[in-house]
Homo-oligomer: A and B are copies of this chain.
Amino acid sequence: MAKRLIPLFNRVLVEKIIPPSKTTTGILLPEKSSKLNSGKVLAVGPGIHSNDGKLVPVTVKEGDTVLLPEYGGTEVKLDNKEYHLYRDDDILGTLHD
């Protein structure tokens, strides 16, 4: 039975996007250029309480493509697949085509 993880507080569950090493027409991409550390948001926590008790929701939502920081994130293995948990305010931005 597959396990589903619902993050707590302002955590965000992300599946990293492994950039293709070749273009669609098969040309090898230079190693450095294709390395955009991004991922897909699978689930978000409810958010965290501000100092005076108000709940501040997470700013990204399920399905967003996000730009991830170079470091940080907690690796989580579920049913042999690798995911990462980030705090909402560590995620740099959302990516749009």
Q: How far is the CA of A17 from the CA of B76 in the complex (A)?
A: 16
Chain B proximity mask over A20-56: 1 for CB below 8 Å, otherwise 0: 0000000000000101100000000110011111101
Q: Given the complex, which residues of B lie within 8 Å of A78, measured CB to CB?
A: 36
Give the contacts of A1-26 with B (CB-CB under 8 A).
Answer: 1-9, 11, 13
Given known contacts A59-B46, A78-B36, is B96 in contact with A8 (CB within 8 Å)? no
Contact status of A94 and B36, CB under 8 A, knowing A53-B56, A76-B67: no
From A1, A6, A67, A93, name the one whose CB has the most chain B CB atoms within 10 angstroms.
A93
A5 touches which of B67, B69, B89 (Cβ 8 Å): B67
* Residues in chain B near residue A54, CB distance under 8 A: 52-53
B contact residues around A9 at 8 Å (CB): 59, 89
Q: Once the chains bind, are A36 and B3 in contact (CB under 8 Å)?
A: yes
